[in-house]
Chain A
Amino acid sequence: MRGLAPSAAGAPPAVATAAGGVPASPRPPALHVHDVSVRFGDALVLDDVRFDLEPGHFLAIVGPNGAGKSTLVKVALGLITPQRGHAAIFGHDAGDAPERIGYVPQLKTFDRTFPATAVELVVSGIRRNWPVRIVKAERARAMAALVDVGAETLADRPLARLSGGELQRAFLARALVREPDLVLLDEPATGVDFLAEHDLYDLLERYQARRGATVAMVTHDLSAARFHASRVLVLNRRLHGYGLPEDVLCDECLHEAFGHVGHRHAVAF
């Protein structure tokens, strides 16, 4: 495996990640994944995955289809309980600190027939349940979040009528409205055009700079991982690399995980 050494069980995270040039910190890791193995029936989806992500980083999780990337995110969210190992967010067991996480799911799983407007979606992020009616203060807060992502004109439009890029902004506003310390995104650029994708990374970086938040994103886009992430995790059931983009997105590591090195122009340094 290339890159940083994953933290040893019980070892202070600062020790485990100091080799990557990140200042040592007494804070618990934003995301702690310890020896996680997940099996669905006969299929081993995650095999002994272990790493710590220090607060303030932008992590890109890359790997081929079926590599277990989304499963890893779901373990971190507490949606899937691993057969072995455990995950923690800022020292809390996975699923125990939902208020500290803003999650943007894959848009392809979203039911477009659900009768809702963008502002209702954002308010659901504030309330952590679905609003019967929206009070003035909630609407103001939701509108501020929509303004932050450049989607204020979408507020009262039905979700069913939004394009992929517009929908992505609405979901991002929903994730950011509660000012989370960790933003988790599962393939956020799927189904959106180049400009919308560029805007997404720009918004995430601005949010991160403003709040000092941590971002972890599943992506197929190795170029985005190279240019926007401060840490890259290469996964294909097992951890094939974790560390600085320039260390991890190398031919050897990508070949090991993907079986080939992909399009060279996309990952050239």
Chain B
Amino acid sequence: MGGVLEILGFAFMQRALAAGLLVALMSGLLGTFVVQRRLSFLGDGLAHSAFGGMGIGALAVVTFGVVEAGGGWLRHPLWVALPFALLTALGIAYVRDRTDLSSDTAIGVFFAVAVALGVLAFSRIPPDVNLGFNVMDLLFGSILAVRTTELTAIVVAAVVVVVTLGFVWGRLAYATFDDELARTDGVRARRLEYLLFVLAAVVVAVSAVVVGIVLMAAYLVIPAAAARLWSRSLAGTSARAVVIGMATTLVGVVASFYLDAPTGSAIILTQAAVFVAAIVLRRR
């Protein structure tokens, strides 16, 4: 116990935990709707679109000389990744809404295009240019290296997500239960679906920078899926998803420190262990 308290005394560890716990909070709240609406692939699609945005952003700062000029926070990939993810989310929602194509098809198309754009953009950047971040960090995350800029973005996103969901939770849950029934009661289900996609894009974009693009989707899906197996209500699923996400983040961060393992992997594997336990011990 003393050892755990000791490592929590490090400033970088406090930032990492704060970032991880807030990502778990947002992911748990949104993941409940994502899982219940069978949109689990959405997290992957949006995270990879963030990668495309990061590539385009990185190429832009190199092309327009921001790197040489110092650039400060403008060099951060988030500033392009976030709007790119938002556009992708709206594009997926539009295709889902206006065509007969299923969600996974719409997500799959945007996913592939975004990755192709990201790879193309990064390939155009000379290898000797110091972008201030590593492409591998974008893919797999670097939660222990989270900076104040990223933590600030996560705090702002968490406030936006919690406040927005606080206003629309009942209506969004109603539309998730039965879109048609909700609409007969005056719920604007289509707008809420667009809002859900936009919130998911915000969470994924700001979190992917820390947790990593590859692991972000798991953060959105696994705690909510495990919670769903233990819950008989949607509100209960949301609460348990947040608790599972936060607890596994705490355990994963501490375990990665002691085991000298990649933190993102340690968190996701801890979440996977809880998911397996949920399947074995699920309420029947």
Q: Which residues from chain A sit less than 8 Å from chain B, CB to CB?
A: 74, 77-79, 95, 98, 101, 103, 105, 109-111, 113-117, 120, 124, 127-133, 158
Contacts and interface: CB of A to CB of B under 8 A. Distances in A.
A110 B184 contact: no
Given A111-B177, A115-B234, A131 B170 contact: yes
Interface in B208-249: 228, 231-237
Interface string B183-197: 111110000000000
Contacts of B187: 128-129
A114 B184 contact: no
Contacts of B174: 124, 128-130
Contacts of A129: 170-171, 173-174, 182, 185, 187
Contacts, number: 74
Contact of A109 (B170, B178, B235, B236): B178
In this complex, which of A114, A116, A129, A133 has the most chain B Cβ atoms within 10 angstroms of its Cβ? A129
B176 interface: yes
Nearest to B176: A114
Given A114-B234, A115-B36, 17 more contacts: A77-B184, A78-B184, A105-B180, A109-B180, A114-B176, A115-B231, A115-B232, A115-B234, A115-B236, A117-B233, A128-B185, A129-B170, A129-B171, A130-B177, A130-B234, A131-B170, A158-B232
A68 to B, nearest CB: 17
Contacts of B186: 95, 98, 128
A105 B178 contact: yes
A133 B170 CA distance: 10
B183 A115 contact: no
Contacts of A101: 184
A78 B182 CA distance: 12
Nearest to A103: B184
Range of interface residues on chain B?
A: 20 to 34
B181 interface: yes
B171 A116 contact: no
Interface string B39-68: 000000000000000000000000000000
Contacts of B122: none
B173 A130 contact: yes
B169 interface: yes
B188 to A, nearest CB: 11
Contacts of A130: 169-171, 173-174, 176-177, 234
B170 A116 contact: no
In this complex, which of B181, B228, B231 has the most chain A Cβ atoms within 10 angstroms of its Cβ? B181
A88 to B, nearest CB: 15
B183 A79 contact: yes
B236 A110 contact: no
